[in-house]
């Protein structure tokens, strides 16, 4: 939905998959095939390293249960109401410049914490 500084390759690859899926959906719609682009925010999985699910960082079960209700209704979706609100705030309300510098700051401090931990270990 927007670039993530310091996770630039990751976010660019997600943008590719989003466009790819939406293009394929347009190509295959007339054949009755559903292709959906799913854009979650954080979900508590092995990959995200979030152990305790919360309202905005749900368990995979909770996220998928909500997401499946959107199949056939939305070609592109955040899949889960709190994530849809976060999507709306970050893309429609916040100016891109502000979002970029906020995410850059967040990832810079995340990187600093990681490097500090590496030094101590």
Q: Which residues are catalytic?
A: 10
Q: Which is nearer to ligand NAP, 56 or 116 (CB)?
A: 56
Among residues 11 and 100, whose Cβ is nearest to ligand NAP? 11
The upper half-sphere exposure of residue 18, i.e. CA atoms within 13 Å in the direction of its Cβ, equals 15
Kindly state the smallest distance separating residue 8's Cβ from ligand NAP, in Å. 14
Half-sphere exposure (Cβ direction) of 4: Cα atoms closer than 13 Å: 12
Shortest approach of ligand NAP to residue 80 CB, angstroms? Answer: 11
Contacts to ligand NAP by CB under 6 A: 40, 42-43, 45-48
**30 φ, ψ (degrees, to nearest 5):** -65, -20
Burial pattern 52-69, b for ≥16 Cβ within 10 A else e, equals ebeeebbeeeebeebbee
Q: Which is nearer to ligand NAP, 30 or 47 (CB)?
A: 47
Least Cβ distance, residue 30 to ligand NAP (angstroms):
28
């Amino acid at each position: 939905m927007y670039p993530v500084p310091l996770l630039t390759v990751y976010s660019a690859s997600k943008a590719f998959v989003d466009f790819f899926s939406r293009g394929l959906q347009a190509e295959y719609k007339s054949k009755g095939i559903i292709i959906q682009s799913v854009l979650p925010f954080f979900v508590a999985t092995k990959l995200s390293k979030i152990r305790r699910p919360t309202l905005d960082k749900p368990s995979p079960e909770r996220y998928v249960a909500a997401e499946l209700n959107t199949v056939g209704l939305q070609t592109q979706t955040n899949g889960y109401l709190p994530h849809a609100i976060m999507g709306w705030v970050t893309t429609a309300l916040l100016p891109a410049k502000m979002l970029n510098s906020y995410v850059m700051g967040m990832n810079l401090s995340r990187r600093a914490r990681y490097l500090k931990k590496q030094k101590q270990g």
